[in-house]
Chain A
Amino acid sequence: MHRKPAAIAAAAAFAAATALSSTAALAQEPVKIGMVTTLSTGAGYLGDHVRKGFELALEQSGAADRVELLVEDDGLDPAQASQLTQRMVERDGVKLMTGSIFSNVAMATIPKLVRNNDVVYVSPNAGPAPLAGKGCHPKYFNVAWQNDNLAEVMGQYATDQGYERVYLLAPQYQAGKDSLAGFKRFFKGEVVDEVYTKLGQTDYAPEIAELRDAAPDAVYFFYPGGMGINFMKQFAQAGLADKIPALGPAFSFDDTLLDAVGDAAIGFYNGSQWSPDLDNEPNRKFVAAYIAKYDEYPTLYSSQGYDAGNLIVSALTETGWSTDDTDALAAAIKKAEFDSVRGDFRFGNNNHPIQDLYVREVYKDETGNITNRMVAEVFEDHQDAYAAECEM
């Protein structure tokens, strides 16, 4: 007789405990975030830095346990990126994606993805023009820049400096032409010559001899990755580094490339939305924590990964760590209520940044490390040239 209540109590306690533990388990079910990024090939460090910045943001905000970050390498291959992204969405049920580094990969993946699936995409790097203009989408965000921005800022800088004759060089492909077009959009002087070299060219001695002969006031070049290393080394070896001011977008001037170029890179000017010495509290915290955690200087790619991470954390906090309602998630992302390492940051109508843009200079800091420092703020609250074409 008097065993029964005890049994009932025990059963109730057991049931309650199971129920409680299962709700606890429900609350702890982490949110899945998919990151298909470029981790291999010569450009693999770009995706690596984005991931490092992203993971640092998750860790610092205490979100690391609430998020399950699925990372895959696209190998800079549009088909592979498409396949991996589709698999994450279909098999793993991911509804929030990030990671795209290269515009050709982004164009093969993102438009199709956001059109056909209930997914929100946050690009930490690639910002091709079509996605900012006619092809903009309410579920697609770019937290870095529109591709032309970092060229536009150098065009304006060249105008501000009073350079009258500028010599332009870029590889013969879409991004090269876009970059020179972006520069010319804000440069008011004369373009002495516009030289397109072979993509992947290694020897620039003939072009540099022509360039010296033309004696321009400044030279603007777009040579990302290994081409940038080759060009800068040969430009400096030709003795032009202290004779002709050389300008470029930040893509040729991250700390990884500067390390490979060495002293030859000192004195080059480049346009960026971020600099390690940008004077604001979130940036100081980011730079110190990044160096402490990874034992290397952050690059602009790290800063973009970090901002992408913090943006996503801010949105997930608002949606109660759920990605089920992607409309609510996109609305929360659009608010951009996070502490950007760039200071002021907001999204324009086309979900691309409205932000300040700067010119940086390559120098050797007191520890002998070759890195960038701020020279001037050129644009305040700059928006891209394609926003008007976007019907949002």
Chain B
Amino acid sequence: MLLFLEQLLNGVQLSVTLLLMASGLTLIFGIMSLLNLAHGSLFMTGAFVAAWVSGETGSWALGLLAGAGAAFAVGLLIETVVMRRLYDRDHLDQVLATFGLILFFNEMVRLVWGIRPMRLDVPDALSGFVEVVPGAPYPVYRLVVIGAGLAVMLALGWLVRGTRIGMRIRAGSVDREMIGALGVDIGRLYSLVFALGALLAGLAGVLAGPFLAVQSGMGEPILILAFVVVVIGGIGSLKGAVVGSLVVGLTDTLGRVYLPDILAFLFGEGAAEAGAAALSSMLIFLVMAVVLAVFPSGLYGRKG
């Protein structure tokens, strides 16, 4: 039971990282109708710049600021140079162009930082443990990631629900022609939303950096999960991103842990060993399929 609580915590922590990725992805998709495969590259940018700056200066906080800032800046840059030309094209063109960006960024970090993976450690102040569950010391840093992610999401919720910019963003996601006709500068609104999504992705990259190998291509595995979150939650819905992240994070974590036992109980030891690893990596996609069968536009997606 205590172990189960700890696994829940692990699941929530994965959910928070996914949420930071998926919220940007869903806003960009919902408002600009832009399918951005290069979102994982912004995750990678955040992690690399943070690893580099904190390695050079010895300060983790500076690394965090630099990593998130760099992702924001790169987001603005690619919005201006590339994305702007894609808003009116169909989704296949967008997929091709942003897939090209993935290749570009993966090669770019290799040219700049070499083929060796970079090092990004847990900051010293946060490297301790707390016994959230008795007898199972849990890393403080993982708790901080959960807390930081939730704080950022609350801030984002306030931005979208409680401010004038947020009102425009919401209006833009419902009817972009109308708010353009009402005199809102759509171009600037789009740049802002895209860069905001980039900032969140960069932040996710910095926060996840200490668990992960900071290397070229590190953004793709998380990107795939983030897309599943967006699809489950419903495109364009922040509330959907929250629920979707929890569904994916918990299903993936708990599935990996408990599926072998469940299968062993149902089908015997041998079948479980062969099937569990394969099935648990498919599990979130099965969940996605079921959700789509019942709610064709996702849990919180708009109908039609």
Q: Which residues of A contact B (CB under 8 A)?
A: 40, 42, 44-45, 48, 172, 194, 196-198, 200-203, 205-207, 209-210, 212-213, 225-227, 229-230, 233-234, 237-239, 256-257, 259-264
Docked pose: A227 CA to B218 CA in angstroms: 11
Q: Which residues of A contact B245 (CB under 8 A)?
A: none
Given contacts A42-B215, A206-B256, A212-B136, contact A48 B115 (CB under 8 A): yes
CB-based A-B contact count at 8 angstroms: 106
Q: Which residues of A contact B280 (CB under 8 A)?
A: 198
Would A172 and B277 count as touching, CB distance under 8 A? yes
Would A237 and B141 count as touching, CB distance under 8 A? yes
Can you give 17 A-B contacts (C-beta < 8 A)?
Answer: A172-B277, A194-B273, A201-B221, A203-B14, A203-B253, A205-B10, A205-B253, A209-B6, A209-B257, A213-B3, A229-B215, A233-B210, A237-B141, A256-B117, A259-B119, A260-B119, A261-B119
B13, B117, B139, B218: the one contacting A238 at CB < 8 Å is: B139
B171 interface residue (CB < 8 Å to A): no
Docked pose: A256 CA to B122 CA in angstroms: 19
Q: Scoring B residues 31 to 62 as 1 if CB is less than 8 Å from chain A, else 0, what string do you get?
A: 00000000000000000000000000000000
Docked pose: A232 CA to B88 CA in angstroms: 46
Q: Which residues of B contact A (CB under 8 A)?
A: 3, 6-7, 10-11, 13-14, 115-119, 121-122, 127, 129, 136-137, 139, 141-142, 210-218, 221-222, 253-254, 256-257, 273, 277-278, 280-281
Docked pose: A40 CA to B215 CA in angstroms: 13
Q: Which residues of A contact B221 (CB under 8 A)?
A: 200-202
Q: Which residues of A contact B217 (CB under 8 A)?
A: 42
Docked pose: A50 CA to B253 CA in angstroms: 38
B7, B117, B119: the one contacting A209 at CB < 8 Å is: B7
Chain A residue at minimum C-beta to C-beta distance from B220 = A200
Docked pose: A213 CA to B280 CA in angstroms: 21
Given contacts A42-B216, A202-B222, A261-B119, contact A210 B3 (CB under 8 A): yes
Q: Which 5 A-B pairs have the closest CB atoms?
A: A229-B213, A226-B213, A260-B117, A205-B10, A196-B277
Given contacts A210-B3, A259-B119, A260-B117, contact A239 B139 (CB under 8 A): yes
Given contacts A197-B277, A226-B218, A237-B141, contact A260 B253 (CB under 8 A): no
Q: Which of A201, A203, A234, A260 has the most CB of B within 10 A?
A: A203
Q: Which residues of A contact B13 (CB under 8 A)?
A: 205
| Interface SS of A by simple majority | helix
Chain B residue at minimum C-beta to C-beta distance from A237 = B139
Q: Which residues of B contact A262 (CB under 8 A)?
A: 119, 121
Docked pose: A172 CA to B136 CA in angstroms: 28
12 further A-B pairs in the complex, CB-CB below 8 A; given A42-B217, A203-B10, A209-B10: A198-B280, A202-B213, A202-B218, A206-B257, A209-B3, A227-B213, A229-B117, A237-B122, A238-B137, A256-B116, A256-B117, A260-B118
B137, B211, B278: the one contacting A203 at CB < 8 Å is: B211
Chain B residue at minimum C-beta to C-beta distance from A171 = B277
Docked pose: A42 CA to B257 CA in angstroms: 28
Docked pose: A196 CA to B212 CA in angstroms: 19
